[in-house]
Amino acid sequence: MTYGTGYDATSESAYYAHGTPAERWERAQLFFDARDYTAAARVLAPLVDEVPEQTGPRLLLARAYYHSAQLRRAENELRLIVERDPVEHYARLMLGRTLERQGRHTEAEPHLRIASALAGDFPTD
């Protein structure tokens, strides 16, 4: 659909969806590295739908959501990762931080403790 300002939503969507999964993964990483987290998420969301079993794209999507303050979406992606792989350290850490950022400290605490344990960070008394 084209709007009076020259904006073409169809071609914009095609841009984010263009290329092979590997090319889109690379494009998403470039957007993420450039701190354009919203654009990274726009590339990654359909990619995650295509390859739902792969942790890498889903984790980067969760990080893009986190950094663009889409915390509920980040939480949902991270919970899926942790459900599939309970010892995925970084997903646990990000889930804990995402919950903290939403003011849900009690829910965050066990995830942060597990992430620390998985990373080998034990308190030294």
Question: What SS3 string covers 68-81?
Answer: CCCHHHHHHHHHHH
Helix (H, G, I), strand (E, B) or coil at 83: helix
Residue 55 lies in a domain: yes
CATH number, residue 31: 1.25.40.10
Residue 84 lies in a domain: yes
| Residue 119 one-letter amino acid | A
Residue 3 lies in a domain: no
| Residue 55 one-letter amino acid | T
User: In the chain, how many domains are there?
Assistant: 1
Write the pLDDT tens digit of every residue in 3-45. 444 434 455 566 677 888 899 999 999 999 999 999 999 999 9
Give the model's confidence band at 105: pLDDT under 50 very low, under 70 low, under 90 confident, else very high: very high
Q: Which domain holds residue 85?
A: 9-119
Residue 124 lies in a domain: no
| 9 vs 67, more confident | 67
Q: Which own/partner pairs from 65-74 qualify as long-range (CB within 8 Å, at least 24 positions apart)?
A: 65/37, 65/41, 66/94, 66/97, 66/98, 66/101, 67/35, 67/37, 68/37, 68/38, 68/41, 70/41, 71/98, 71/101, 71/102, 72/102, 73/41, 74/98
pTM for this structure?
Answer: 0.84
Residue 64 lies in a domain: yes
Residue 2 lies in a domain: no
